[in-house]
Amino acid sequence: MSSVSPTSVAVPPQDDGPAEPPGRLSLGGLSVNIRQSGIYIAFALIVVLFTVLTDGALLQPQNISNIVVQNSYILILAVGMILIIIAGHIDLSVGSVVAATGAIAAVLMVNYGVPWPAALLVTLVAGGLIGAWQGFWIAYFGIPSFIVTLAGMLLFRALTLTVLGNQGIGPFPDAVRTLSNGFTDGYLGNVGLGPLGGADVFSLLVGVLAVAGMAAAQWRTRAARARYGQTVDPLPVFALKVAAAAVLIVAVVVQLARFKNLPWVLVLLAVIVLGYSLLANRSVFGRRIYAVGGNLQAAVLSGVKVKSVVFWIFVNMGVLAGMAGIIFAGRLNQAGPTAGGSFELDAIAAAFIGGAAVQGGVGKVVGAITGGLIMGVINNGMSLIGSPSEQVMLVKGIVLLAAVAFDVWTKRRAGAASR
Amino acid sequence: MTDHILRMSGITKTFPGVKALQDVNLSVRRGEIHAICGENGAGKSTLMKVLSGVYPHGTYEGEISFDGEPGRFSGIKDSEDAGIVIIHQELALCPQLSVAENIFLGNERSGRGLIDWNRTNHEAAELMARVGLRESPVTQVADIGVGKQQLVEIAKALSKRVRLLILDEPTAALNDEDSAHLLDLLRGLRDEGITCVIISHKLNEIIAIADSITVLRDGQTIETLDMAADKVTEDRIISGMVGRPLEHRFPPHESSIGEEVLRIEDWTVHSPAQPGRKVVSGASLTLRRGEIVGLAGLMGAGRTELAMSVFGRAYGVNISGRLFKNGTPIELRSVQDAIRHGIAYATEDRKRYGLNLIEDIRRNISSAGLRRMGRRGWVDENEEYKVAEGFRKSMNIKAPSVLSVVGKLSGGNQQKVVLSKWIYTDPDVLILDEPTRGIDVGAKYEIYTIINRLADEGKAVLVISSELPELLGLCDRIYTLSQGRVTGEVLRSEATQERLMHYMTMGQE
Cα distances from B129 to residues A163, B328, B409, in angstroms, run 65, 59, 51
The DSSP code for B333 is -
Q: Which residues of A281-317 are buried (b: 16+ CB within 10 A; e: fewer)?
A: ebbbbbbbbbbbbbbbebbbbbbbbbbebbbbbbbbb
Q: Which residue type does B150 have?
A: Q
**pLDDT tens digits for A201-256?**
888 888 999 999 999 999 998 888 888 878 888 888 889 989 988 998 888 888 88
State the Cα–Cα distance between residues A63 and A46, nearest whole angstrom. Answer: 16
Q: Which residues contact B249 (CB under 8 A, 6 or more apart)?
A: B441, B444, B445, B469, B473
Low-confidence winner among A53-67, A399-413, B346-360 (lowest mean pLDDT): A399-413
Prediction ipTM score: 0.82
Contact B89 A7 (CB under 8 A): yes
pLDDT tens readout for residues A317-351: 999 999 999 999 999 999 999 999 899 999 999 99
CB contact under 8 A, A301 and B399: no
Query: How many angstroms away from the CA of B192 is the closest CA of chain A?
Result: 30
pLDDT bin (cut points 50, 70, 90) of residue A19 is: very low
Report the Cα–Cα distance between both ends of chain B, in Å, rounded: 37
Chain B, 14-33: which have a CB under 8 Å from a chain A CB? 15-18, 20
Q: Give the up-direction half-sphere exposure of residue A79: CA atoms within 13 A in the CB hemisphere.
A: 26
Max distance between CA atoms of chain B, in angstroms, equals 78
**Coil vs helix vs strand at A90:** coil
DSSP label at residue B258? -
How many whole angstroms separate alpha carbon A175 and alpha carbon A109? 11
- At B255, phi and psi to the nearest 5? -85, 140
Which chain B residues are Cβ-neighbours of A361 within 8 angstroms? 356, 358-359
Give residue-wise pLDDT tens across range A350-402: 999 998 988 889 999 999 999 999 999 999 999 999 999 899 999 999 999 99
Among A1, A3, A8, A284, pick the best mutation site for testing chain B contact (most B Cβ within 10 A).
A8
First-residue to last-residue Cα distance in chain A: 30
> Taking a contact as any Cβ pair under 8 Å apart, which residues of chain B between 434 and 473 contact chain A?
434, 437-440, 466
Contact A374, A368 (CB under 8 A): no
Sign of CA dihedral A90, A70, A257, A240: positive
Q: Which amino acid is at B114?
A: L
Q: Among A341, A290, A377, A349, which Cα is nearest to A81's?
A: A349
Beta strands in B358-469 (DSSP E): 374-375, 378-379, 429-433, 460-464
> For residue A14, is pLDDT > 60?
no
Burial of B393 (0-12, 13-18, 19+ CB in 10 A): exposed
Q: How far apart are CA A340 and CA B424, in angstroms?
A: 47
pLDDT band at A13 (very low <50, low <70, confident <90, very high): very low
DSSP category for residue A20: P
Three-class secondary structure of residue B507 per DSSP: coil
Q: Which amino acid is at B492?
A: R
Query: Residue B400, SS3?
Result: coil
Digit-coded pLDDT (tens) for A270-317 = 999 999 999 998 899 999 999 999 999 999 999 999 999 999 999 999
CA–CA gap between residue A289 and residue A313 (Å, rounded): 8
Q: Which residue of B has its CA nearest to A10?
A: B41
The answer to whether B411 touches B397, Cβ cutoff 8 Å, is no
Return the residue of A nearest to B434 by Cα.
A6
What is the band of A260 on the pLDDT scale with cuts at 50, 70, 90? confident
Measured in degrees and rounded to the nearest 5, phi and psi for residue B429 equal -125, 125
Q: Which domains occur in chain A, in start order?
A: 37-182+288-412 (1.10.3470), 183-262 (no CATH)
Q: Is B236 within 8 Å of B225 (Cβ atoms)?
A: yes
**Residue A86 has what pLDDT?**
96
The rounded distance, in Å, linking the Cα atoms of B110 and B411 is 47
- Label residue B486 left, alpha or beta by phi (over 0 means left) and psi (-120 to 50 means alpha): beta
Instruction: State the Cα–Cα distance between residues B5 and B31, nearest whole angstrom.
Output: 8
Q: Does the pLDDT of residue A34 top 90, yes or no?
A: no
Instruction: Report the C-alpha gap between B1 and B101 in whole angstroms.
Output: 43
Are residues A16 and B17, on separate chains, in Cβ contact within 8 Å?
yes
What is the structure's pLDDT at B252? 86
Closest chain A CA to residue B377: A284
Question: If residue B308 lies in a helix (H) or strand (E), which one and from where to where?
Answer: helix B303-310
Q: Tell me whether residues B410 and A294 touch, CB distance under 8 A.
A: no
Residues 6+ apart with CB under 8 A from B497: B238, B242, B468, B469, B472
Which 476-495 residues of chain B touch chain A by CB within 8 A? none
**What residues contact A320, with CB distance under 8 A and at least 6 apart?**
A76, A77, A79, A80, A127, A272
Q: How far is B443 from chain A (nearest CA, A)?
A: 11
CA dihedral (B378, B382, B383, B388) positive or negative? positive
Cis peptide before A13 (omega within 30 of 0): no
Residue A210 CB partners (closer than 8 Å, separation 6+): A249, A253, A270
Chain A residues whose beta carbon lies within 8 Å of the beta carbon of residue B371: 284
Best residue in B382, B406, B432, B470 for a mutation probing chain A (most A CBs within 10 Å): B382
The widest CA-to-CA distance across chain A, in whole angstroms, is 78
Contacts of A31 in chain B (CB under 8 A): none
**What's the one-letter identity of residue A186?**
G
Q: How far is CA B300 from CA A236, B171, B357, B466, in A?
A: 60, 11, 27, 11
The minimal CB distance from A301 to the residues B345, B378, B412 is found for B345
The enclosing H or E element of B350 equals: none
What are chain B's domains? 4-242 (3.40.50.300), 247-342+427-509 (3.40.50.300), 360-424 (no CATH)
Residues of A in contact with B370 (CB under 8 A): 284, 287-288
What residues of chain B score a pLDDT lower than 50? 245-247, 509
Residues of chain B in contact with residue A12, where contact means CB-CB under 8 angstroms, are 15-16, 18, 20, 438
Mutate which: A292, A295, A309, A418, vs B, most B CBs within 10 A: A295
Distance from CA of A278 to the nearest CA of B (A): 9
How distant is the alpha carbon of residue B320 from its chain centre? 26
Mutate to test the interface with A, among B409, B417, B418, B426 (most CBs of A within 10 A): B409
Residue A109 has pLDDT above 80, yes or no: yes
The helix (run of H) or strand (run of E) holding residue A92 is none
By the 10 Å C-beta count (0-12 exposed, 13-18 middle, 19+ buried), B355 is classed as buried
B376 at A interface, C-beta within 8 A: no
Contact A360, A62 (CB under 8 A): no
- Please, how many CA atoms are within 13 Å of residue B320, restricted to the half-sphere of its CB? 7
Long-range interactions of B121-130: CB distance < 8 A, separation 24+: B123/B159, B124/B99, B124/B100, B124/B155, B125/B100, B127/B103, B127/B155, B127/B158, B127/B159, B128/B99, B128/B103, B128/B155, B130/B155, B130/B158
| Spacing of C-alpha B15 from chain mean position | 18
Residue of A nearest to B400 (CA): A18
Instruction: Report whether A100 contacts A325 (CB < 8 A).
Output: yes
Contact A15 B421 (CB under 8 A): no
Q: Between B18, B305, B400, which is nearest A2 by CB?
A: B305
Residue B16 has a pLDDT of 67
How much is the mean pLDDT over chain B? 88
CB contact under 8 A, B356 and A224: no
Other CB atoms within 10 Å distance of the CB of residue B94: 12
Q: Is B359 close to A303, i.e. CB distance below 8 A?
A: no
A-chain residues within 8 Å CB-CB of B434?
6
Using CA atoms, how far apart are residues B483 and B491, in angstroms rounded to an integer?
Answer: 21
pLDDT of the residue at A35: 61
Q: How far is CA A329 from CA A104, A181, A267, A334, B313, in A?
A: 10, 10, 18, 5, 49
DSSP string, B193-206: T-EEEEE-S-HHHH
Residue of chain A whose alpha carbon sits nearest to that of B365: A302
CB pairs under 8 A between A and B: 185
